[in-house]
Amino acid sequence: MKKIFLSIIIFCTSTNVVFAQSPIEIPKESIYAKGQVNELTEQKIQVHPEDPLYDPAQGDPQFNTIQNVTYEVLEGDYKGIIFSSINEITGQIYDVYLEKGDKVMLLLKVYNDGSFEGYAIDFIRNDIMIIFVALFFIGLIVLGRMKGVRALIGLVITVGAIFFILIPLTLKGYNALMLAVIISIAVAPITIFLIAGFNRKAVSTILGALSGVLCAAIIAYLVGNLAILSGLSDEDARILYVNRPDLNFSNIFFASIMIGALGAVMDVGMTIASAVNEVYIAHKDSTRKSLFKAGMQVGKDTIGTMSNTLILAYVGSSLPLLLLFSMDNFGFINVINFDFMAAEIVRSISGSFGLLIATPVTAFTSAFLLRNRP
């Protein structure tokens, strides 16, 4: 994993980093460590028209900023070591503009003779992220009380299954799609039973959710193979391919669709099952047919907004790309021929198909189980 992260970091920061030293030998090891900017001075250097970084659109004069930075390592085997390096600001998107006192993530390269070099690859954000997530957890518990606690447990289990089962086993060569199927079959019942309790409402939600997410995976698999989708539609997948060309990227793509659709179909299933259950409680003499119709009516309202949610989420993530196509006057038909755009269409529509299947299954099983109550 460290090699993969290192490749990504070097790729993303290569445009703006000037090393403190440039030894010919290959580093013995590269490690990441939290650091701090202790001292900093900077100077501006004019960029002339013959310089490769010169941008005619900006006019003259143009300047780059060179920061002479003194770092202190705050953790790990090199804790307490102070060293200097150069950080160049060239006006690129990957620039890391530093100020004195900034906490940064350092990439340290250690050589066989004991010397090392290092530079900042990004700012430390884990503190604010931890606070942000903690506030969400507190809000969930305050609003949901015990159900909020159970929902939090379900969330931890789901995330744990992805990070400690799906990802490690996929990297070991196991089929990512089959792992996603197994995780969905295991995680959906656990999460729903934790939230709704062990009852008929939970059972119907589970059946609806699993039918929907399995449908989404099957449709994505069939359409993806017919459309000859490689699974290498985005930059992250291509970087992973450079490091692990032995992985099956089509299966990874289909697994991502299944995991992405799981939350949406569980949401729809729980909404329909709860609505049917409330109708039954209010009208004990309701027939199975009337309960099914009530569930379908709620489902029709829900899948409309939920399908929009899925599609808009994927469109929103691709908005810069769509703007680029619009600037170059690409036609819609030409756009959807590209692998990455076809992949996003398959991802969003497959999830929506899962909602279409989950709705009648949940409504039917809810009505059937409630009317067969002992």
Give the integer Cα–Cα distance in Å for 188 and 263.
9
CATH of domain 136-371: 1.20.1640
Render pLDDT for 300-336 as a digit per residue (tens, 0 to 9): 888 777 777 767 776 676 677 777 777 766 666 777 7
Q: 112 and 26 in contact (C-beta within 8 Å)?
A: no
Residue 332's pLDDT is 65
Query: Is the pLDDT score of 146 beyond 80?
Result: yes
Query: Is the pLDDT score of 20 beyond 50?
Result: no
Render pLDDT for 240-255 as a digit per residue (tens, 0 to 9): 888 888 999 889 988 9
In the structure, what pLDDT confidence band is assigned to residue 50 with cuts at 50, 70 and 90? low
Indicate the domain borders of the chain: 2-124, 136-371
Q: What is the mean pLDDT of residues 59-68?
A: 77
Percentage of the chain surpassing pLDDT 70? 84
In the structure, what pLDDT confidence band is assigned to residue 171 with cuts at 50, 70 and 90? very high
Give which of 315, 178, 184 is closest to 254, Cα–Cα: 178
Q: 186 and 158 in contact (C-beta within 8 Å)?
A: no
In the structure, what pLDDT confidence band is assigned to residue 198 with cuts at 50, 70 and 90? confident
Residue 166's pLDDT is 92
In the structure, what pLDDT confidence band is assigned to residue 229 with cuts at 50, 70 and 90? confident
User: For residues 26 and 19, which has the higher predicted lDDT (pLDDT)?
Assistant: 26
In the structure, what pLDDT confidence band is assigned to residue 174 with cuts at 50, 70 and 90? very high
The two structure tokens encoding residue 63: 């300047």
Render pLDDT for 80-105 as a digit per residue (tens, 0 to 9): 888 888 888 777 777 788 888 889 99
Residue 53's pLDDT is 64
Q: How far is CA 272 from CA 48, 152, 296, 361, in A?
A: 66, 22, 8, 10
Query: Is the pLDDT score of 293 beyond 80?
Result: yes
Q: 262 exposed, middle or buried (CB, 10 Å; 0-12, 13-18, 19+)? A: buried
In the structure, what pLDDT confidence band is assigned to residue 16 with cuts at 50, 70 and 90? very low
Query: Is the pLDDT score of 282 beyond 60?
Result: yes
Q: What is the mean pLDDT of residues 259-267?
A: 86
Residue 179's pLDDT is 92
pTM over 0.85: no
Give which of 216, 114, 194 is closest to 148, Cα–Cα: 194
Alpha-helical regions (H) of the chain = 2-13, 126-161, 167-171, 176-196, 200-226, 235-243, 249-282, 288-317, 319-327, 332-336, 339-371
Give the integer Cα–Cα distance in Å for 309 and 261.
11
In the structure, what pLDDT confidence band is assigned to residue 365 with cuts at 50, 70 and 90? very high
